[in-house]
Chain A
Amino acid sequence: MLIGNVGFGLDSTSGEVMEMLAYVIRNLLQRLVLLFVVSVMAHAVVHIAPGEPSEVDPSNPRLKPEDVTKIRAAFHLDDPLHLQYVYWMRDLLSGELKSFKDSQPVLPKIWDRFLNSLPLFVTATVIVWTLSFPAGIHAALRRGSVYDRSTTFLAYALISIPGFFFSYLVILSVVELFGVPVIGMRTFGMEDAAPLFRAMDRLWHLVIPSIMSALVGVAILSRYVRSQMLEVIGADYVRTARAKGLEEETVVYTHALRNALLPFVTMFGLLLPGLIGGSVIFEQIFAWPGIGRLGYDAILARDFPVILTINLIAAVLTLAGTFLSDILYAAVDPRIRLQ
């Protein structure tokens, strides 16, 4: 979708604006079609796979066969698949979609959990982006040094350790040492405290979960920063800048870094789906009532509407993310033209 085209500088004529607009519209339409296919596939996978909501509790003696029939009818489970899809979409779009499990409306339920996940996601992302860049740039500038080699090894170790194993180790060592809470979002019984204390309590609860869920990201992103930086630092224009007699700092931060940063602009867009995908394990470890745990509980309860809607939201976020990254890339790199 992105075509490199040297020479189209900054002179944006009205023709280019029109082209841009056409690109955006065509792209959005394509993505809508993709979204439709994704939703059909997700629906089919969830419904065709064995395991019915009515079978969650087969040993319950109070659940008589006629109850099962009633439940199946109430959830439209006996209708053909395409009809069930239509019902799902109709209810989703009219906002009346209800959970199988507790008959609560699905969208507000997901929204609540989303608001819980958001601080965790934002803090972790901030940690990832603020730590990775200094670490990666430093490693690239001192390539082959002890620092470089040890961070390389550390990064691979962090990528390789099972997340929950590492989290448990940290919990074991940190809780007694610093008294940091590692369960839930807030201290039980703090509801009546002054707002300031409640806010501090929330922040304090955020520390360990956000660090733990950020670590793998730091490892991966800092390696990527390092390799981008190495690629740029050998380029001709960096040599020219040095040959001109510019200070090393100017060369590195003004000439090299700015060009090395280009691919990362696009990664802002690709962050979006991480809001849902990456959170299941860590929310489970730290008993964080976020969207990942909602999904996990929904899977356990065969709560199809919740599973499907979370999946759909994840797909929307992925598509929005790639769209955003395409646009951002074109915006920051004049060599790239949308087609």
Chain B
Amino acid sequence: MTREKTFTLVKSYKPFHSKFDPCPPIGRKYYRTPPNLYINFQPPNMEQFTPEEALKYGTLWKFFYDFYDNPYRERET
């Protein structure tokens, strides 16, 4: 297993799985870190969305937009 070197907002870890665990293991678990964690105090003049885009994305500043995609989806088969 190689670990990703590039920066990503999605972090993951692998919990210990006992062989006596009655449930099948999910294996790797994922969690997301919101972009505002990586900024200390918002600097002025950040890049903005247009008003229509801002309404759609839920934030006026591009930096704070965070897209959610279900990382477990491939297991759903």
Do chains A and B interact in one complex?
no
A residues near B (Cβ < 8 Å) are none
B residues near A (Cβ < 8 Å) are none
